[in-house]
């Protein structure tokens, strides 16, 4: 299978969550993936869906039309971007009238929308395109001493009406990758639950209560670390961990949080610095010690 | 208070039907499965998606908008997954948010700010210098990441986005 992908970063990753971009750019080529820079790509519109759904669809459709010019499948690193682009494809295929309307807007910008771009998310790229067998064959630092939680994040799972990277009833792909890397994992309550990020603008304190609850569960289940593939989940679990600790006055609310790409990178022998691990705010050094990196 | 019959066919209600798209708010039979699994309801007790759907169907749209509660939705789509009736309360809430903005109600500050940035730069925020645990300031350049490019046809982008979301940005 051709493994050339258009790298679509969205907003949060290239403006703040640099660790995801750094680790994806370092790890994916080692797994045989060629990443092509996506010139002129903008926000997918996901955070602005509440303002105007048609604006969101226009923004996502514009990304799809731009991608068609490259004739390559799109790799969306962010859960929000992935769901945004794929829901847009789904809606426009169902509503020819809306598709005509959006196509007209794009024609004014010399863009044509065929609406047949293939979009894949990091989880699918690793699990389905590259495959766990190949990943397993490249492991030089097996994560044998670690019990790691898989946290796909809402938008890798829902809405269930459209194709999603993970299955809502039983998300297992990240788990399979953890096992391929030599790590241990198990299910835990609300594994397919929400990190609370979208609530931040409305009620920051309660949003952090949601992510704090998640960390509490992970601690109760004895996990050494948690991996995610979403920049919003990362922001809530990793960057806001210190605030969660003081908000709930619970010093135990501390767990290393890593991007899936960072975890794969460690196991295939990349150095923490190459994977942007010094940018994670959670105590990732705890697991680095355990796997002797 | 008696319900005036005209609210049941109000243009807002019709507009909601239009924005919601392929889901069916009219099928809701108030089983409250959505609320039992709702992320936001766990921390904000006043937030009850089944109630929002019921009030919307009864036409209490201005009241829902005025209360501001619609912005408490976490957009996790659990309500949609759990719903046995293809209602998708989250889609109803999104439609209510859209109508609020259409009527000139401003979304929460952070969303206004994102809208403003998206219009101007194509991204919800400008690339930040982030702080590490050792209080070191790191930029994209420090990490040898390529510089962010401007949007494809930036003038057209600005023009269209201003029309579509300009009213909700904090300009």
Residue A151: count other Cβ atoms within 10 Å of its Cβ. Answer: 27
Least CB-CB distance to A158: which of B80, B122, B146?
Answer: B80
Higher pLDDT, B1 or A103: A103
Q: Which of B118, B119, B134 to mutate to test the interface with A (most CBs of A within 10 A)?
A: B118
- Residue A205: predicted pLDDT: 97
Beta strands in A95-243 (DSSP E): 119-121, 148-151, 225-228
How far apart, in whole angstroms, are the C-alpha atoms of residue A163 and residue B102? 31
Q: What is the mean pLDDT of chain A?
A: 96
pLDDT digits (tens, 9 = 90+) for A52-89: 999 999 999 999 999 999 999 999 999 999 999 999 99
- Residue B23: predicted pLDDT: 84
Interface membership of B137 toward A (CB under 8 Å): no
Q: Which residues of B touch A62 (CB under 8 A)?
A: 152, 157
Strand partners, A147: A184
Q: CA of B137: how far to CAs of A59, A229, A273, A279, B141, in Å?
A: 32, 24, 15, 10, 11
Q: What is the CA radius of gyration of chain A?
A: 19
- Kind plus residue range of the DSSP H or E element containing A37: strand A34-37
Which pTM was predicted? 0.96
Q: CA of A249: how far to CAs of A147, A242, A246, A254, B25, in Å?
A: 26, 10, 5, 12, 41
Query: Does B78 sit within 8 Å of A281, measured CB to CB?
Result: no
Structural tokens at position B163:
């029309």
- Residue B5: predicted pLDDT: 53
- Residue B20: predicted pLDDT: 85
**pLDDT of residue A293 exceeding 90:** no
Q: What residue ranges of chain B have pLDDT lower than 50?
A: 1
Burial class (CB in 10 A: 0-12, 13-18, 19+), A240: buried
**pLDDT of residue A167 exceeding 80:** yes
Alpha carbon A266 to its chain centroid, in Å, reads 18
Q: In degrees rounded to 5, what are phi and psi of residue A184? A: -110, 150
Query: Does A194 sit within 8 Å of B78, measured CB to CB?
Result: yes
How far apart, in whole angstroms, are the C-alpha atoms of residue A227 and residue A223? 11
Mean pLDDT computed over A92-104: 96
Q: Are A169 and A187 in contact (CB under 8 A)?
A: no
Interhelix angle B89-102/B49-57, rounded to 10 degrees, is 60
- Residue B121: predicted pLDDT: 97
- Residue A98: predicted pLDDT: 95
Q: In degrees rounded to 5, what are phi and psi of residue A34? A: -100, 125
- Residue B15: predicted pLDDT: 85
In the three-class reduction of DSSP (H, G, I as helix; E, B as strand; rest coil), residue A6 is classed as strand
- Residue B11: predicted pLDDT: 79
Structural tokens at position B85:
């009736």
**pLDDT of residue A106 exceeding 70:** yes
SS3 letters across A150-165: EECCHHHCCCCCCCCC
- Residue A188: predicted pLDDT: 98
Least CB-CB distance to A91: which of B21, B94, B95?
Answer: B21
**pLDDT of residue A107 exceeding 90:** yes
Mean pLDDT computed over A27-46: 98
In the three-class reduction of DSSP (H, G, I as helix; E, B as strand; rest coil), residue A128 is classed as helix
Mean pLDDT computed over A217-235: 98
Residue B7: count other Cβ atoms within 10 Å of its Cβ. Answer: 14
Query: Does B126 sit within 8 Å of A196, measured CB to CB?
Result: no
Residue of chain B with shortest Cα separation from A238: B133
How far apart, in whole angstroms, are the C-alpha atoms of residue B154 and residue B157? 5
pLDDT digits (tens, 9 = 90+) for A257-272: 999 999 999 999 999 9
Structural tokens at position B103:
């009527």
- Residue B93: predicted pLDDT: 97
In the three-class reduction of DSSP (H, G, I as helix; E, B as strand; rest coil), residue A8 is classed as strand
- Residue B4: predicted pLDDT: 52
Query: Does A55 sit within 8 Å of B165, measured CB to CB?
Result: yes
- Residue A264: predicted pLDDT: 98
Report the length, in residues, of chain B. 171
Q: Which residues of A touch B133 (CB under 8 A)?
A: 278, 281
In the three-class reduction of DSSP (H, G, I as helix; E, B as strand; rest coil), residue A35 is classed as strand
Residue B148: count other Cβ atoms within 10 Å of its Cβ. Answer: 16
Mean pLDDT computed over A146-150: 98
Residue A32: count other Cβ atoms within 10 Å of its Cβ. Answer: 12
**Strand pairing report for B130-131 and B137-138:** antiparallel
Alpha carbon A136 to its chain centroid, in Å, reads 21
How far off is chain A from B9, nearest CA to CA, in Å? 22
pLDDT digits (tens, 9 = 90+) for A153-162: 999 999 999 9
Helix residue ranges, H only, chain B: 11-20, 33-37, 39-43, 49-57, 61-67, 78-82, 89-102, 109-121, 154-165
pLDDT over 70, % of chain A: 99
- Kind plus residue range of the DSSP H or E element containing B19: helix B11-20
How far off is chain A from B1, nearest CA to CA, in Å? 30
- Residue A1: predicted pLDDT: 54
ipTM exceeds 0.85, yes or no? yes
Comparing C-alpha atoms, which of A13, A5, A75, A9 is closest to residue A33?
A5
Q: Which of B38, B76, B154, B170 to mutate to test the interface with A (most CBs of A within 10 A)?
A: B76
How far apart, in whole angstroms, are the C-alpha atoms of residue A232 and residue B73? 15
- Residue B154: predicted pLDDT: 97
Comparing C-alpha atoms, which of B98, B130, B89 is closest to residue A50?
B98
Query: Does A43 sit within 8 Å of B168, measured CB to CB?
Result: no
Comparing C-alpha atoms, which of A198, A289, A188 is closest to residue A235?
A198
Residue of chain B with shortest Cα separation from A16: B128
Residue with tokens 């050494």: A224
pLDDT over 90, % of chain A: 97
- Angle subtended at Cα A50 by Cα B70 and Cα A212, rounded to the nearest 5 degrees: 65
């Amino acid at each position: 299978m051709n493994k050339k992908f258009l790298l679509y970063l969205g907003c949060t990753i290239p403006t703040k969550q640099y660790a995801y971009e750094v680790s994806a750019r370092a790890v994916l080529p080692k797994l045989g993936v060629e990443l092509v820079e996506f010139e002129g790509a903008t926000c997918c519109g996901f955070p602005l869906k509440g303002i105007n759904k048609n604006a969101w669809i226009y923004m996502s459709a514009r990304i799809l039309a731009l991608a068609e010019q490259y004739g390559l499948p799109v790799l969306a690193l962010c859960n929000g971007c992935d769901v945004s682009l794929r829901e847009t494809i789904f809606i426009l295929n169902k509503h020819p009238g809306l598709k005509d309307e959006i196509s007209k807007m794009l024609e004014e910008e010399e863009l044509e929308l065929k609406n047949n771009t293939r979009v894949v998310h990091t989880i699918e790229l690793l699990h389905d395109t590259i495959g766990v067998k190949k990943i397993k064959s490249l492991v030089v630092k097996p994560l044998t001493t670690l019990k790691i939680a898989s946290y796909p994040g809402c938008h890798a799972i829902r809405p269930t009406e459209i194709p999603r990277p993970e299955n809502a009833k039983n998300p297992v792909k990240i788990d399979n990758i953890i096992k391929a890397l030599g790590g241990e994992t198990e299910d835990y309550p609300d594994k397919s639950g929400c990190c609370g990020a979208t609530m931040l603008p409305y009620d920051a304190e309660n949003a952090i209560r949601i992510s704090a609850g998640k960390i509490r569960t992970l601690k109760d289940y004895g996990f050494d670390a948690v991996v995610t593939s979403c920049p919003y989940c990362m922001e809530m679990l990793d960057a806001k961990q210190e605030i969660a600790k003081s908000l709930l006055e619970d010093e135990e609310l501390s767990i290393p949080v890593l991007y899936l790409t960072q975890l794969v990178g460690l196991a295939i022998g990349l150095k923490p610095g190459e994977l942007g691990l010094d940018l994670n705010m959670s105590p990732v050094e705890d697991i680095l010690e355990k796997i002797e990196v | 208070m008696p319900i005036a019959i005209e609210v049941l066919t109000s243009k807002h209600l019709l507009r909601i039907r239009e924005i919601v798209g392929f889901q069916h708010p009219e099928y809701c039979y108030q089983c409250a499965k959505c609320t039992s699994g709702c992320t936001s309801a766990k921390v904000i007790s006043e937030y009850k998606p089944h109630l929002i759907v019921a009030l919307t169907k009864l036409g209490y749209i201005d009241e829902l908008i005025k209360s501001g509660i619609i912005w408490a939705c976490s957009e996790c789509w659990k309500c949609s997954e759990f719903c046995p009736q293809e209602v998708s309360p989250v889609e109803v809430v999104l439609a209510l948010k859209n109508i609020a903005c259409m009527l000139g109600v401003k979304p929460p500050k952070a969303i206004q700010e994102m809208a403003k940035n998206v219009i101007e730069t194509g991204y919800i925020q400008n690339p930040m210098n982030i702080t590490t645990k050792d209080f070191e300031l790191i930029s994209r350049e420090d990490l040898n990441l390529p510089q962010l490019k401007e949007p494809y046809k930036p003038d057209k982008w600005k023009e269209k986005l201003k029309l579509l979301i300009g009213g909700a940005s904090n300009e």
